[in-house]
């Protein structure tokens, strides 16, 4: 029996969990991501523990012991314990999952007394290795699908041929893990992935976009992989190409913008928004962007449109239309300075009546700054004075 070597700190936490479980009459195992990451010598954050018994009870006692915070979820049921600001352990009761036979859907879930059955419901061999945390057999590795071999060969392999059909989100997970771990997708798994692409269309919008977002967190290059494996084609998505992705990378660093929403915007470029139930604010941003799009941005009204855009939308315009990129850059760098120094009160003191004219004058000042005709407070005051004298102050 192979055994795992934990770092001393981790070891004492896991030994504690094993002892508590024993006192409660349960048994307990470390599973999934952390096992894989320890074997690969990678760092990890979230810990998953499977309990044969009542996982919530185990979590409660453990959380008292470490003076942690217990987050309880009714679904399944499971519980998370957080402590020391960063450490986080998920406690889940061992379960089996039975998928509906003739359609794609969520599985029927049953508790099981056999933790090996819990490993069978998992996605890939490297995620289906368990480590015993029970005091008598602490550290023993259980690896019924030869995940250790696949760790060594650096392969993502599903556990059975219907895996992708049962849960098409695993298609995204396979691609995501292959990038994150620098693994290859095993040949037969690759074939089955292609065969079962069609089931992606059966995913709910919510599950689909959750997976897409998780993938996009790995960076813009992920889109190349989603295209390579046919995922984008099956879902009817496309994106503007490699140089667009490169400009996204440059812009997201230069302007310090998270590009996930920008990339989603790109996927939706040719799509009618009616088919998607995104948040209203996001839909509004897409509409604003479509109004500006590839217009020649020197147009004086454009600055007002740019002020309505969130950073991720500005990044989109920056990357999508290179001829406008300098203007967007300019806007990112100077938008604070474009705000008028004069406020409504200043204008009223100068004699402007309380009316929509105040807002109108503000806009003229912003435009003046945008086109370089106004550079300081004195020139703002002069514009208001010209207005008060009845002169034309539009640019």
Residues that bind Mg ion (CB under 5 A): 33, 46
Q: Which is nearer to ligand ATP, 198 or 348 (CB)?
A: 198
Q: Which is nearer to ligand ATP, 214 or 381 (CB)?
A: 214
Q: Which is nearer to ligand ATP, 39 or 297 (CB)?
A: 39
Stretch in the footprint of ligand ATP (CB under 6 A) among 123-131, 217-225, 291-299, 339-347: 123-131
Q: Does 95 bind ligand ATP (CB under 6 A)?
A: no
Q: Which is nearer to ligand ATP, 205 or 343 (CB)?
A: 205
Q: Which is nearer to Mg ion, 34 or 340 (CB)?
A: 34
Q: How far is the CB of 179 from ligand ATP (least distance, A)?
A: 11
Rg of the chain on CA atoms, in Å = 28
Q: Among positive and negative, which fits the CA dihedral 365, 368, 374, 375?
A: positive
Q: What does the alpha-carbon distance between residue 125 and residue 250 come to, in Å, rounded to a whole number?
A: 36
Q: What does the alpha-carbon distance between residue 87 and residue 16 come to, in Å, rounded to a whole number?
A: 15
Q: Does 196 bind ligand ATP (CB under 6 A)?
A: no
Q: Which is nearer to ligand ATP, 177 or 331 (CB)?
A: 177
- Which of 55, 89, 123, 226 is the binder for ligand ATP (CB under 6 A)? 123
- Point out the residue whose Cβ comes nearest to ligand ATP: 33
Partner from Mg ion, ligand ATP, none binding residue 170, C-beta < 5-8 Å depending on class: ligand ATP
Q: Which is nearer to ligand ATP, 210 or 305 (CB)?
A: 210
* CA-based max dimension of the chain: 92
- Point out the residue whose Cβ comes nearest to Mg ion: 33
Chain mean position to CA 146: 30
Stretch in the footprint of ligand ATP (CB under 6 A) among 120-128, 190-198, 326-334, 341-349: 120-128
Q: What is the 3-state secondary structure (H, E, C) of 188-208?
A: HHHHHHHHCHHHHHHCCHHHH
Going from the C-alpha of 315 to that of each of 68, 253, 271, the distances in angstroms are: 40, 10, 19
Contact 311, 257 (CB under 8 A): yes
Q: How far is the CB of 33 from Mg ion (least distance, A)?
A: 4
Partner from ligand ATP, Mg ion, none binding residue 57, C-beta < 5-8 Å depending on class: none
Q: What does the alpha-carbon distance between residue 108 and residue 339 come to, in Å, rounded to a whole number?
A: 57
Which long-range contacts does 108-114 make (Cβ < 8 Å, 24+ apart)?
109/76, 112/52, 113/52, 114/52
Closest CA to 115 of 138, 149, 92: 92
Residues 224-283 that bind ligand ATP (CB under 6 A): none
Contact 36, 129 (CB under 8 A): yes
Over the window 155 to 174, marking each residue x when it contacts ligand ATP by CB under 6 A and - when it does not, the resulting string is ------------x-xx--x-
Q: Does 96 bind ligand ATP (CB under 6 A)?
A: no
Asked if the bond preceding 225 is cis, omega within 30° of 0, the reply is no
- Beta bridge mates, 108: 98
Three-class DSSP category at 244: helix
Contact 231, 202 (CB under 8 A): no
Partner from ligand ATP, Mg ion, none binding residue 162, C-beta < 5-8 Å depending on class: none
Q: How far is the CB of 39 from ligand ATP (least distance, A)?
A: 12
Three-class DSSP category at 73: strand
Going from the C-alpha of 32 to that of each of 28, 121, 137, the distances in angstroms are: 13, 11, 19
Q: How far is the CB of 34 from ligand ATP (least distance, A)?
A: 7
Partner from ligand ATP, Mg ion, none binding residue 169, C-beta < 5-8 Å depending on class: ligand ATP
Closest CA to 130 of 3, 268, 293, 294: 3
Name every residue whose Cβ is closer than 8 Å to that of residue 84 and which is 6 or more positions away in sequence.
66, 68
Over the window 40 to 59, marking each residue x when it contacts ligand ATP by CB under 6 A and - when it does not, the resulting string is ------x-x-----------
Stretch in the footprint of ligand ATP (CB under 6 A) among 121-129, 218-226, 303-311, 347-355: 121-129
Q: Which is nearer to Mg ion, 90 or 261 (CB)?
A: 90
Q: What does the alpha-carbon distance between residue 200 and residue 172 come to, in Å, rounded to a whole number?
A: 9
Q: How far is the CB of 323 from Mg ion (least distance, A)?
A: 43
Q: How far is the CB of 182 from ligand ATP (least distance, A)?
A: 14
- Interacting residues with ligand ATP (CB under 6 A): 32-33, 46, 48, 122-123, 127-128, 167, 169-170, 173
């Amino acid at each position: 029996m192979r055994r795992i070597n934990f770092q001393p700190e981790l070891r004492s936490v896991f030994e504690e969990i094993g002892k508590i479980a024993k006192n409660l009459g349960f048994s307990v195992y470390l599973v999934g991501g952390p096992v894989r990451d320890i074997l690969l010598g990678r760092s990890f954050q979230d810990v998953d523990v499977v309990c044969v018994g009542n996982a919530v009870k185990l979590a409660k006692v453990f959380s008292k012991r470490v003076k942690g915070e217990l987050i309880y979820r009714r679904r399944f049921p499971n519980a998370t314990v957080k402590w020391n600001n960063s450490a986080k352990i998920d406690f889940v009761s061992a379960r089996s999952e039975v998928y509906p036979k003739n359609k794609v859907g969520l599985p029927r879930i049953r508790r099981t007394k056999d933790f090996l059955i819990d490993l069978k419901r998992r996605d890939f061999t490297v995620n289906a290795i368990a480590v015993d945390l029970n005091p008598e057999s602490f550290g023993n590795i259980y690896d019924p699908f030869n995940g250790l071999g696949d760790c060594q060969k650096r392969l993502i392999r599903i556990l059975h041929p219907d895996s992708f059909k049962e849960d098409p989100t695993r298609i995204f997970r396979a691609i995501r893990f292959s990038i994150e771990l620098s693994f290859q997708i095993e040949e037969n798994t690759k074939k089955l992935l292609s065969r079962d692409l069609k089931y992606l269309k059966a995913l709910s919008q919510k599950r689909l976009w959750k997976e897409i977002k998780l993938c996009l967190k790995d960076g813009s290059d992920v889109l190349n992989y989603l295209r390579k494996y046919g995922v984008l084609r099956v879902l009817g998505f496309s994106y503007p190409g490699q140089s667009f992705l490169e400009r996204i990378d440059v812009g997201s660093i230069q302007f310090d913008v998270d590009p996930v929403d920008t990339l989603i915007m790109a996927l939706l470029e040719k799509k009618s928004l009616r088919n998607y139930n995104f948040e209203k604010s996001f839909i509004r941003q897409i509409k604003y962007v479509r109004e500006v799009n590839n217009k020649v941005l020197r147009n004086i009204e454009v600055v007002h449109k740019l002020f309505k855009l969130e950073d991720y939308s500005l990044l989109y315009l920056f990357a999508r239309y290179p001829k406008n990129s300098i203007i967007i850059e300019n806007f990112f760098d100077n938008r604070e300075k474009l705000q008028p120094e004069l406020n409504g009160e200043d204008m009223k003191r100068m004699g402007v009546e309380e009316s929509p004219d105040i807002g109108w004058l503000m806009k003229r000042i912003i435009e003046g700054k945008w086109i370089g005709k106004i550079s300081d407070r004195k020139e703002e005051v002069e514009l208001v004075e010209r207005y008060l004298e009845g002169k034309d102050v539009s640019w």
